[in-house]
A and B are shown apart, each in its own frame.
Chain A
């Protein structure tokens, strides 16, 4: 294990020890408050281009396994933890986190005061950073950090979407769901396959006419990384799909893109929502769900036309928007992650609700 450091764009350096892949990485530094689920988090394409800090200080305890993956590789740019626990223990475990990071050539750093680092991001907002070994000077690293593209205006969807469309089928496929892959988590697909569905997963920039040619019973708009405002081709396609009156369901980036297609606005949150404990109020049912979250941008509720759009969910931490429904077309979306993985399963009912609309 060799010494390494994390340099932030505000000029602050945190020193630690490198693990995983011995190399550098830069990206937007964000924190996640989940106590468990580091493997799902690392493999979630929505973390593309980001260096993740885990606020829980013991990471690696249960190793990694063959099941808890949200895509085919680690998507995050780097990983920052308090204590890395190499001697894992779990009946499903197959490798150590260190090996896993090495396999996908992602650097990690431990021995960092993650509490101080998180507080800094919470007060100063998300910022860019770089992980490096200690052979490079702080000054050089800071220059590199400042050259790292900022998240605003960045289309990262193109980097993570599938190149070719593909089809997945449940045992008795009855309903065709067209899935726009903006960086989809596997668990969303697994949830849909619990219903009698055939899923055709399309590349993010597929023209709406091609999707309609598939004659879907429902359309799903996935989660994904980066600034929703930069994914202009997706917004245009969604504008054309809504009038087709095919039920549409969006999650996370999908939700933001729907809002933009409905002439709403999105904005960047100061430090984002990333964790598994966010209380969200379902305004229809007057019930609270504990939700999994991962987003740096949010929908500006006031920008939406209340005559056509109904607000369905609100975050109880900061009253930001968490869900909407169209009043005239079968369109529904949420900002959080009902597929969990990692996180609580309180919101799985949304898949039922959508499939009920599809089956009508």
Chain B
């Protein structure tokens, strides 16, 4: 299908200030979208409250408004610029929420403005956990047991039957803000109340915990002809329980057989179709039981996301650019592949390398009275991330650690370990066992520096099996870390 000619001016909503959970990846996607739509001859109007972005550079959009992203200001812009359509899928959750607000206030109808990229109905289905759960059940996919509650009493009655731990997820918030995992009643009460406050609709989902399950993300695209492609599959190094934004992630998936992977692909295809995203990209997250492969759908973002920026860079497939072109009516087979120029964008990238993302935290800047501030959970805490490529996992992993610019050269051997190699080798058996036990206890809690403690544990004689029990990090990844230590040990044997 050729591009739409009934549209002249398109308004793109940016993502606003850089906050934890929403950083420059949306500037990257928004900039791509502005360029893509201008390339097609549309007049592009942009709103973003954050002038410290590339997308607001004067030469990019035809008209740029540095104004607060809310319905009041967007309405003023609509009145003045008279766009026929709004593209709300490039500016993260902020833009989607703003678009929904415009719809609910009747502003879209009043000015006869259409949402492109994702329709109101699709956004609703994907974002409201209740509608999403119903939609998944309808297409025969599993979702975790949970209940939507609007007060603590209802939450408590759920926890009484489900037992702990329980995950608390506030509705309509970004980066899991206000969410958490409660392991006892006291934590539960605090988190539920905090979650209700954080949710714009005072609603939280209390949910059975899938802590320890494997976590996967699929970046997918669909066009108006129902063509569907998976751009990238991402496997989390950290199991369920840590926010994806705080997880070390790896592309492509490493530990699934083809049949197991195709099950996720089939599910993703059904999901995007049921939610009704007709023209663009989505991010779909799954939990997979490591013991039997049972699949649970966690969530779907009907927009360009943090992970799609990662997937674009990992594969060379420009998701935001293509999503913008799909939004104006093109089909995947009509858009040339950015790399080959001669083949269409309707394909699934394959790569001959491994990509590793490691989040960067800055807890020093957020030191509070609470020493456990650096415990990772369902609320994202990282302030950025690095990504690296390698011909194997170990290479990519080591490069990523070095790229974090935390002063570490890689996993150990840089003289900056808390427990130096020489120190550990001088310990007697009893001391080693004691420190090993201490390290295993430490690893039970997800903290940002756990990868280094995995190293200490291996050096102290812990087995892959022992570390798996404690961390639930897939044994494949644990063995990769063990391999790095073995190479290190071998290299040390040559020193003098």
Interface residues of A (CB under 8 A from B): 33-37, 39-40, 55-58, 61-62, 65, 67-68, 82-83, 85, 87-92, 114-115, 118, 275-279, 281, 286-288, 290, 316-317, 340-346
Contact = CB atoms under 8 A, between A and B. Distances in A.
A340 B258 CA distance: 10
Contacts of B255: 61-62, 89-90
B350 interface: yes
B208 interface: no
Interface residues of B, number: 45
Contact of A342 (B227, B258, B333): B258
B262 A90 contact: no
B475 A340 contact: no
B346 A62 contact: no
Contact of B350 (A34, A114, A286): A34
A63 to B, nearest CB: 9
Contact of A90 (B256, B333, B346, B352): B256
B392 A58 contact: yes
Contact of B392 (A33, A34, A36, A82): A82
A168 B349 CA distance: 38
Given A58-B254, A114-B352, A278-B347, 7 more contacts: A58-B392, A61-B255, A87-B464, A87-B476, A277-B347, A279-B344, A341-B259
Interface stretch (B73-81, B287-295, B303-311): B287-295
Interface in B242-262: 252-262
B332 interface: yes
Interface of B: 225-230, 233, 252-262, 265-266, 290-293, 332-333, 343-344, 346-354, 391-393, 464, 474-476, 479
A88 B291 CA distance: 15
A57 B344 contact: no
Given A61-B476, A279-B333, A90 B225 contact: no
Contact of A33 (B290, B350, B474): B350
Given A57-B353, A279-B344, A290-B347, A92 B293 contact: yes
A85 B51 CA distance: 48
Contacts of B343: 279, 316-317
A40 B259 CA distance: 10
A56 B350 contact: yes
Contacts of A83: 391-392
A287 B227 contact: yes
A276 B347 CA distance: 10
A90 B477 CA distance: 12
A107 to B, nearest CB: 22
Given A92-B293, A115-B352, A288 B257 contact: no
A134 B291 CA distance: 42
Contacts of A82: 352, 391-392
A34 to B, nearest CB: 7
Given A58-B392, A92-B257, A92-B293, A316 B347 contact: yes
A279 B346 contact: yes
Given A279-B344, A281-B333, A345-B266, A286 B225 contact: yes
Nearest to B289: A91
Contacts of A277: 347-350
Interface-central residue, A62, A340, A346, by most chain B CB under 10 Å: A62
Nearest to B332: A288
Interface-central residue, B225, B255, B464, by most chain A CB under 10 Å: B255
Nearest to B464: A87
Given A68-B257, A68-B259, A343-B258, A87 B475 contact: yes
A76 B78 CA distance: 63
Contacts of B293: 91-92
A290 B229 CA distance: 7
Given A91-B292, A288-B333, A341-B258, A55 B352 contact: yes
B333 A65 contact: no
Contact of A55 (B290, B350, B475): B350
A36 B391 contact: no
Contacts of B226: 287
Contact of B346 (A288, A341, A345): A288
A111 to B, nearest CB: 11
A108 B181 CA distance: 47
A89 B346 contact: no
B346 A316 contact: yes
Contacts of A317: 343, 347
Contacts of B392: 57-58, 82-83
Contacts of A276: 258, 348, 350
Contacts of A35: 233, 252-253, 350-351
A162 B272 CA distance: 42
A36 B257 contact: yes
Nearest to B394: A83
A117 to B, nearest CB: 11
Contact of A91 (B228, B252, B262, B290): B290
A279 B317 CA distance: 15
A37 B354 contact: no
B257 A90 contact: yes
B344 A316 contact: yes
A178 B30 CA distance: 56
A317 B346 CA distance: 10
27 contacts: A33-B352, A34-B258, A40-B258, A55-B350, A58-B354, A68-B258, A82-B352, A87-B464, A87-B475, A89-B255, A90-B257, A91-B290, A91-B293, A92-B257, A115-B352, A115-B391, A276-B350, A277-B347, A281-B333, A287-B226, A287-B227, A288-B227, A290-B347, A317-B343, A342-B262, A343-B258, A344-B265
Top 7 A-B pairs, shortest CB-CB distance: A37-B258, A342-B258, A89-B476, A36-B258, A277-B348, A87-B479, A89-B475
Nearest to A37: B258
Contacts of B393: 58
A340 B261 CA distance: 12
B230 to A, nearest CB: 8
Nearest to A61: B254
B360 to A, nearest CB: 25
A211 to B, nearest CB: 32
A45 B344 CA distance: 31
B266 to A, nearest CB: 6
B399 to A, nearest CB: 15
Nearest to A342: B258
Nearest to B226: A287
Contacts of B292: 91
Interface-central residue, B292, B333, B349, B464, by most chain A CB under 10 Å: B333
B6 to A, nearest CB: 22
A213 B231 CA distance: 49
Contacts of B348: 276-277, 290, 344
Contacts of A34: 258, 350
